[in-house]
Amino acid sequence: MKTLAIIGCGRIAKNAHFPALSKIEDVRIKYACDLIPEKAEALKKDYPIIENIITDYKVALADPEVDAVYVLTPNYAHYTVTMDAIKAGKHVFCEKPITVNYALSCEMAEAANNAGKILNIGVCNRYHKSVEMLEEMNREGKFGTLYHIYCSFRSFRSIPGLGGAFTTKSQSGGGVLIDWGIHFLDLILYILGNAKLKNLTCNAYSEMAKDMKEYKYTGMWAEDTADIENGTNDVDDFITGFIRTDKASISFNGAWAQNIAKNEMFIDFCGDKGGARLTYGGKFEFYDGSTLKTEAPEYDIPDMYEREDRDFLSSIESGVKNRNHIDNILESAKLLDRLYASAEAEKELEV
């Protein structure tokens, strides 16, 4: 039996981790913590497994019964809450991105490793069935030489919480690249077999809501955190770049918003023997270069969050670092940092 405290009871808690954890036997959720207690109380109605509602996460950290905490707060709080939890002797699952920059990410990894505690990061796509299958196909040589990967994470109107934490760089670390790009680029590095970065170039744009009051939208995700009147928008809403790794090159475009009324969320894997297009969050098609046939494998897609949470809990038990251990995610954090640095310097950078 593992005793947990969940810190941050917003969207990812409600939509992903509570549904997942409630399916796992041998889990006790002793605390649900949110600065806004109504959010934790609303969750308790759906998940009576929650034993106590608190607003100060330090109460949970001081409880010797708590084995591990989930840090499901906005990006700006990941570092502080995680470091406090490690100091208190807890294992930690922290949502993606690790934190707002690479230097602080490294400090978090060092602290966890020095304390002998597991620290996992919620790059959940590493547990997506399609991603696992593509990773295995690459290891088995089905693509031949995988020489280039292209990905698009572009949407028509999806700037979240305009003017709030999402669009304030000091709180979020960035815009569409750190929020969506992390998922795409991390799963690419993973499928390539933990590819190491060589050099890269990137351009970032913040064009669509320069004047926040003039931004036209049909719906806004995380609108409860928006502050269009008085807030800040200093992050990328469009991003493009090119990355060389020791395995393959990668190019990408991402848009939280663009004046192209299409949502294009996919990854193309180009190999000399075969290729694949992965529809993000869904299935892939494989294109065989020798038969010129298209294969669309049939398979079920189990809940990736449940698989991610189960693996975190078993990692705590065994002490074995699994695929989402922070040590295995730092290259992705470094990638985001260098891409933003390249965009700022307006030139190609060695990594």
Ligand X SMILES: NC(=O)c1ccc[n+]([C@@H]2O[C@H](COP(=O)([O-])OP(=O)(O)OC[C@H]3O[C@@H](n4cnc5c(N)ncnc54)[C@H](O)[C@@H]3O)[C@@H](O)[C@H]2O)c1
Examine residue 97 and say whether the peptide bond preceding it is cis (omega within 30 degrees of 0).
yes
Stretch that binds ligand X, among 27-35, 209-217, 240-248, 312-320 (CB under 6 A): 27-35
In this complex, which beta carbon is closest to ligand X, that of residue 329 or of residue 351? 329
Distance of closest approach, residue 47 Cβ to ligand X, in angstroms: 15
- Total binding residues for ligand X by CB under 6 A? 24
In the set 77, 204, 208, 335, which binds ligand X (CB under 6 A)?
77
Edge-to-edge strands, sheet with 68-71: 50-54, 27-33, 2-7, 68-71, 91-95, 119-122
Q: Which string of b and e fits 68-96 if b means at least 16 CB within 10 Å?
A: bbbbbbbbebbbebbbbbbebebbbbbbb
Site string for ligand X, 196-225 (x = CB under 6 A): --------------------------x--x
In this complex, which beta carbon is closest to ligand X, that of residue 9 or of residue 131? 9
Please check whether residue 163 is in contact with residue 227, taking contact to mean a CB–CB distance below 8 angstroms: yes
Asked if 75 touches ligand X (CB under 6 A), the answer is yes
Distance of closest approach, residue 76 Cβ to ligand X, in angstroms: 8
In the set 17, 30, 96, 126, which binds ligand X (CB under 6 A)?
96
Q: How far apart are the first and last CA of the chain?
A: 43
In the set 4, 21, 27, 33, which binds ligand X (CB under 6 A)?
33
Asked if 117 touches ligand X (CB under 6 A), the answer is no
Stretch that binds ligand X, among 8-16, 83-91, 113-121, 266-274 (CB under 6 A): 8-16
Please check whether residue 78 is in contact with residue 98, taking contact to mean a CB–CB distance below 8 angstroms: yes
Asked if 60 touches ligand X (CB under 6 A), the answer is no
In this complex, which beta carbon is closest to ligand X, that of residue 245 or of residue 324? 324
Q: Report the distance separating Cα 15 and Cα 36, nearest Å.
A: 17
Asked if 57 touches ligand X (CB under 6 A), the answer is yes
Asked if 100 touches ligand X (CB under 6 A), the answer is no
Instruction: List Cβ<8 Å contacts ≥24 apart for 341-350.
Output: 342/200, 342/201, 342/202, 342/241, 343/202, 343/203, 343/204, 343/236, 343/239, 343/241, 344/204, 346/203, 347/201, 348/199, 348/200, 348/201, 349/199, 349/200, 349/201, 350/198, 350/199
Q: Report the distance separating Cα 22 and Cα 62, nearest Å.
A: 24
Distance of closest approach, residue 178 Cβ to ligand X, in angstroms: 8
Distance of closest approach, residue 295 Cβ to ligand X, in angstroms: 28
Distance of closest approach, residue 54 Cβ to ligand X, in angstroms: 9
In this complex, which beta carbon is closest to ligand X, that of residue 9 or of residue 185? 9
Q: Which DSSP state fits 214?
A: G
173, amino acid identity:
G
In the set 3, 19, 22, 35, which binds ligand X (CB under 6 A)?
35
Asked if 50 touches ligand X (CB under 6 A), the answer is no
Distance of closest approach, residue 224 Cβ to ligand X, in angstroms: 8
Q: Where are the alpha helices (DSSP H) in the chain?
A: 11-12, 18-21, 37-46, 57-61, 75-87, 102-115, 129-139, 169-172, 176, 182-191, 304-318, 330-345
Q: Report the distance separating Cα 267 and Cα 151, nearest Å.
A: 4
Asked if 11 touches ligand X (CB under 6 A), the answer is yes
Residue whose CB is nearest to ligand X in the complex, by number: 10
SS3 118: coil
- Phi and psi at residue 21, to the nearest 5°: -65, -30
Distance of closest approach, residue 309 Cβ to ligand X, in angstroms: 11
Q: How far is CA 86 from the centre of its chain?
A: 21
Distance of closest approach, residue 308 Cβ to ligand X, in angstroms: 8
Q: What's the maximum distance between 2 C-alpha atoms anywhere in the chain?
A: 62
Site string for ligand X, 122-141 (x = CB under 6 A): x-x-----------------
In this complex, which beta carbon is closest to ligand X, that of residue 278 or of residue 351? 278
Positions touching ligand X (CB under 6 A) are: 7-12, 33-36, 39, 57, 72-75, 77, 81, 95-96, 122, 124, 222, 225
